[in-house]
Structure 1
Amino acid sequence: MRSSAATESTSDVALGEEAREVRRFWGRLGLPGLVDVHTHFMPERVLHKVWDYFDAHGPLIGGLEWPITYRKMEAERAELLREFGVQAFTAMLYPHKPGMAQWLNGWAADFARRTPDCLHTATFYPEPDVETYVREAVEAGARVFKAHVQVGAYDPADELLQQTWGMLAEARIPVVMHCGSGPAPGKHTGPEPIARVLARHPKLRLIVAHMGMPEYEEFFDLAERYDQVRLDTTMAFTDFIEEFMPFPRRALPRLAALGDRILLGSDFPNIPYPYVHQLHALERMGLGQEWLKAVCHDNAANLFGL
């Protein structure tokens, strides 16, 4: 499957022109730039394995045709975000098995040291030493954590993680979690497992990745119940996603009402369309300039004290 958005590739639109269009977008809103809470930087050999999985149309991406638009070297990708005017971004990385998270955290700490506009990102997995290395990451200055329930195939309510959730809630460090069942469901995806976590840790600063697609409304329920739950826009509302996991238009008033807890996310570089398409998709929701300003910059700037 190819979406209409996928036809807007970097082979058709020069990156320089795209950067100018991104800058025109936030300039029209009177913003100083963008804050993107969902971008991927990880060790190159790990990222290349991720790209190989996308190229193979793996089951975790629903078998979809998913060309990587920004298949570039690490330094080029970081510089491109800067050219777009992204003032702060993340290094979303995640383990798929035990014994991997601590090593990824070491890499991410080094990446944050040499990339000052990246929010120091860390991750974890349900394993016996998880509390120890998460505490080490917190003490090293981690500002956001990434959890991927679908790829990791674990229950976020696993007892091995309870102390970790409590630590992160107390430290007020946000966790971006892929817990929705898109683009393909996992054994522990959906709102119910994370609802059990929030029942025990109601102050956890959870950022639901991808707006919780396709369970948008169920994750809105959690955001309305818990005032520290937020959602990121990653891939939501784009032509690519709307073809098979459309956002229910009846939920637009709820999306508007949650405007102070929606954060810009893109999934850069692992997207099958230009970065600017995510911004245009947000704009065409028709929720107004103040909503866009909050989503594209102000909410994340307030959350991370930027």
Structure 2
Amino acid sequence: MTTSGPVGDAEIPGYLDALGLPGLADIHVHFLPEPMLRKVWAYFDGALEHYGTAWPITYRFDEATRLAVLRGFGVRQIPALTYPHKAGMARWLNEWNADFARRVPDGVHCATLYPEPDVGSYVAQALDSGARLFKMHVQVGRYAPDDELLDPAWSLLAEAGVPVVIHAGSAPIAGEFTGSQRVARVLARHPRLTLVIAHAGMPEYHEFADLVERYDNVHLDTTMVATDFTDRFAPLPDGYAARLGELRDRVVLGSDFPNIPYPYAHQLTALARLDLGDDWMRDVLWRNGSRLLRGGTA
């Protein structure tokens, strides 16, 4: 019997207790330098123009409050995913990420990258300083993940086994370089890469799931998957929920906190109503993400 998901945020701790879980391993959480975050929120405030639908920010709080909210939900390790939209940004974002990890005891030391001549150098520096989770956003950055400039960084990340959360799907907006084909080319050159496909690659769900089946260290994250909000423009295709059940050890919790237009609990409920069972939920909400954040690969 599948345990019902939490009705609201206040029910999250009780839901985790019912599953026998010590917490949540959410691999897709954003913290950014405050000026950059304000610009991101301003972009979402104009979502009706950008996306054709409103996108209210549910957790528009200061950093201390956002950290407290996540801890209250049971998130045990807090990522601070950042991503550049132009050359020259990644190095200083990585410096900010290193500072975040120093001052937030339960913060995950994150980093990012961009196709530019010095990418191998600063990715090596980030790894040497302890970075254990990277983020890339193909549509926002407007770059090709298979750009040859990225090859030195891909090689370093594959060797280190450090996961990279990559938003390459074409939702909510398609970009020149979105879709699964370019990611497939990257994996053909670097098959040991530990990639986490953000949003399960929506709307190219099946295409990215094919890559999970083909490569041992590729995962899907659940960010916004099966929620009422995204079902309006990127519903799960036929047979996909069953496929998520089959890929159980390669699906990890993601939320996009704080930039979500609904309560955090709704993501958990959306996954629970897929009716894939409590053991699947335990793996997705805790075990798989915890393994990745410890540096575990297949």
CA contact (8 A) 2:28 2:256 kept: yes
Q: 1:58 to 1:99 in 2, by over 3 A?
A: farther
- Given candidates 281, 284, 289, the residue that maps to 2:270 is 281
Partners of 1:125 and 1:78 in 2: how far apart?
27
Matching residue within 15, 20, 39 for 1:25: 15
Q: Secondary structure at the match of 2:111?
A: strand
Give the TM-score taking structure 2 as reference length. Answer: 0.95
Query: How much does 1:189 deviate?
Result: 0.3
Q: What displacement does 1:19 show?
A: 4.3
CA contact (8 A) 1:208 1:231 kept: yes
Tell me if 1:46 matches 2:36: yes
Q: Which runs of 5+ in 2 are unaligned?
A: 1-6
Q: How many Å apart are 1:131 and its aligned residue? A: 0.7
Query: What is the deviation of 1:303?
Result: 1.9
Query: Equivalent residue for 1:144?
Result: 133
Partner of 1:92: 81
Match of 1:124 among 113, 135, 144: 113
Partners of 1:200 and 1:267 in 2: CA distance = 29
Provide, for residues 40-73 of structure 1, a one-character-per-residue CA deviation record: whole Å limited to 9, x for no partner: 00100000000000101276x5232100000000
Supply the distance in 1 between the matched residues of 2:184 and 2:9 (Cα, whole angstroms): 39
Displacement after TM superposition at 1:304 (Å): 2.1
Identify the match of residue 106 of structure 1 among 89, 95, 99. 95
Q: Is the 8 A contact 1:19 1:83 kept in 2?
A: no
Work out the CA distance in 1 between the residues paired with 2:92 and 2:52: 29
In structure 1, list runs of 5 or more residues that go unmatched: 1-16
**Structure 1 Cα separation of the partners of residues 164 and 58 of structure 2:** 26
Aligned: 1:206 with 2:195: yes
Is the 1:36–1:265 contact (alpha carbons within 8 Å) kept by the matching residues of 2?
yes
Does 2:273 correspond to 1:297? Answer: no
How many angstroms apart in 2 are the aligned matches of 1:212 and 1:19? 26
Determine if contact 2:48/2:54 at 8 Å carries over to the other structure: no
Partners of 1:19 and 1:64 in 2: CA distance: 24
Measured on the aligned residues, the alpha-carbon RMSD in Å equals 1.3
Q: Counterpart in 1 of 2:3?
A: none
CA distance in 2, matches of 1:93, 1:27: 31
Shift of 1:26: 1.1
- Code of the aligned partner of 2:252: L
